[in-house]
């Protein structure tokens, strides 16, 4: 069986998380950032039944077809959400063809990413996990440059601006939803070598650091214009320029493109794996079908604000309810 390491698992999931943060719409303030971090902690706590299930030798792959179908549906919807995020965020990121050709340009860009995702997913979990580590390393370097640049453009009084907050609990809910990639986490954790709990702690620690860096640097740089900013992280990156006569916006474009490819590839890879389990006779065009369904489901989210309580309940259902139910069923059987 193909197995991955905790570094590879974390790289794949953190890329998805970073991409979700880049595409985050709405305002970010100190309460939001704190809410995001609390949301992540909440996710970790909710992931514990799943971790216990893995430690007892269980996994999503070993559950019945109904459970697998629920996870598949979730992965397809989240993949669609990622395409939708890409669609919306590409408006504010300068992608040459997209910006000059309207809807067709957007379709072309989405199509290109889908083709690369299709190829990536078809190579299997090992190839994607190995390349995710390298992509994450390159992304970290680029992100560090952007973050260091952000320090020079920071306005520390922005931290105290809280007038945009929807309240702490709403922010926790928004932060909680930020990790739709947890569907992949549920599928991939059983493929990971080593102790499931340690791997989970490792991933969530990375996620907390990433969320803290991205959200706080966004507040510091773009806090003053947060009211008129649709994509605060993108705006913060655009405002963070280390040199007076040169701009490094394109550096962010590189991270954005690479992370878009890998985050969608991870979802399609996980979904294709589940599809194979549910329909073993469906051998060809699994990944293609998954990507087509994801693009189709992207239209469901088009233009929507994706961070509401409904999505939070869905994430909780995937992360907490199903693994707990499986664990309960197992203990009753015993």
Residues in contact with another protein by CB under 8 A are 5, 7-8, 94-98, 109, 112-113, 116, 119-120, 123-124, 126-128, 130-131, 133-135, 243, 245-250, 253-254, 257-258, 261-262, 265
State the minimum distance, in angstroms, from the CB of residue 166 to another protein: 34
71: closest CA among 91, 50, 57, 90?
A: 50
State the minimum distance, in angstroms, from the CB of residue 172 to another protein: 34
Residue nearer to another protein on the CB measure, 109 or 322: 109
Residue nearer to another protein on the CB measure, 1 or 228: 1
**Cα–Cα distance measured from residue 24 to residue 19, given in angstroms and rounded to the nearest whole number:** 9
Give the Cβ contact number of residue 285 at 10 Å.
12
State the minimum distance, in angstroms, from the CB of residue 120 to another protein: 5
State the minimum distance, in angstroms, from the CB of residue 317 to another protein: 32
State the minimum distance, in angstroms, from the CB of residue 329 to another protein: 34
Residue nearer to another protein on the CB measure, 250 or 331: 250
Q: Cα 249 to the chain's mean position, in Å? A: 22
Which pairs count as long-range contacts for 276-283, CB under 8 Å and 24+ apart, including other chains?
A: 277/61, 277/65, 277/68, 278/65, 278/68, 278/69, 278/72
DSSP string over 112-181: HHHHHHHHHHHT-HHHHHHHHHHHHHHHHHHHHHHHHHHHHT--GGGGG--TT---HHHHHHHHHHT-TT
Residue nearer to another protein on the CB measure, 112 or 321: 112
Residue nearer to another protein on the CB measure, 66 or 245: 245
At which residue do the structure tokens 């996980």 appear?
A: 270
Residue nearer to another protein on the CB measure, 119 or 299: 119
Residues in a beta bridge with 192: 4
State the minimum distance, in angstroms, from the CB of residue 250 to another protein: 5
**Cα–Cα distance measured from residue 57 to residue 133, given in angstroms and rounded to the nearest whole number:** 26
Give the Cβ contact number of residue 211 at 10 Å.
23
Residue nearer to another protein on the CB measure, 5 or 69: 5
Residue nearer to another protein on the CB measure, 122 or 170: 122
Residue nearer to another protein on the CB measure, 100 or 331: 100
Give the Cβ contact number of residue 194 at 10 Å.
12
State the minimum distance, in angstroms, from the CB of residue 141 to another protein: 13
State the minimum distance, in angstroms, from the CB of residue 185 to another protein: 20
E strand or H helix at 274, and its extent?
A: helix 249-278
State the minimum distance, in angstroms, from the CB of residue 134 to another protein: 5
Integer angstrom CA distances of residue 218 from 28, 30, 186, 210, 289: 8, 10, 29, 12, 37
Those residues with Cβ within 8 angstroms of residue 82's Cβ, 6 or more apart along the chain or in another chain: 16, 19, 20, 180, 260, 263, 264, 267, 294
In this structure, what DSSP letter does residue 308 have?
S
**Cα–Cα distance measured from residue 278 to residue 262, given in angstroms and rounded to the nearest whole number:** 24
E strand or H helix at 4, and its extent?
A: none
């Amino acid at each position: 069986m193909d197995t991955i390491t905790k570094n590879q698992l974390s790289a794949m999931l953190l890329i998805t998380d970073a991409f979700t943060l880049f595409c985050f719409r709405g305002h970010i303030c100190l309460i939001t950032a704190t809410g995001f971090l609390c949301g992540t902690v909440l996710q970790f706590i909710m992931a514990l039944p799943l971790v216990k299930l893995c430690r007892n030798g269980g996994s999503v792959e070993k559950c019945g077809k109904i459970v697998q179908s629920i996870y598949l549906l979730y992965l397809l919807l989240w993949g669609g959400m990622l395409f939708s995020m890409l669609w919306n965020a590409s408006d504010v990121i300068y992608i040459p063809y997209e910006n000059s050709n309207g809807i067709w340009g957007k379709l072309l860009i989405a199509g290109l990413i889908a083709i690369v995702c299709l190829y990536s997913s078809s190579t299997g979990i090992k190839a994607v996990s190995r390349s995710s580590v390298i992509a994450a390393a390159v992304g970290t370097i680029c992100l560090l440059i952007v973050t260091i640049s952000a320090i020079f453009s920071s306005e520390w009084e922005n931290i105290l601006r809280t007038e945009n907050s929807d309240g702490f609990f709403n922010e926790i809910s928004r932060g909680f939803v930020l990790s739709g990639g947890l569907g992949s986490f549920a599928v991939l954790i059983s493929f990971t070598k080593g102790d499931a709990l340690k791997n989970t702690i490792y991933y969530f620690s990375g996620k907390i650091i990433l969320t803290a860096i991205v959200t706080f640097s966004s507040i510091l740089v773009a806090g003053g214009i947060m009211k008129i900013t649709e994509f605060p992280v993108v705006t913060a990156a655009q405002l963070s320029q280390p040199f007076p006569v040169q701009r490094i916006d394109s550096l962010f474009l590189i991270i954005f493109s690479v992370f878009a490819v890998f985050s969608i590839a991870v979802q399609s890879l996980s979904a294709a794996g589940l599809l194979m389990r549910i329909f073993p006779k469906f051998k060809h065009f699994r990944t293609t079908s998954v990507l087509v369904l994801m693009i189709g489901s992207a239209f469901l989210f088009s233009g929507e604000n994706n961070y509401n309580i409904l999505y939070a309940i869905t994430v909780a259902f995937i992360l907490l309810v199903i693994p707990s139910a499986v664990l309960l069923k197992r203990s009753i059987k015993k």
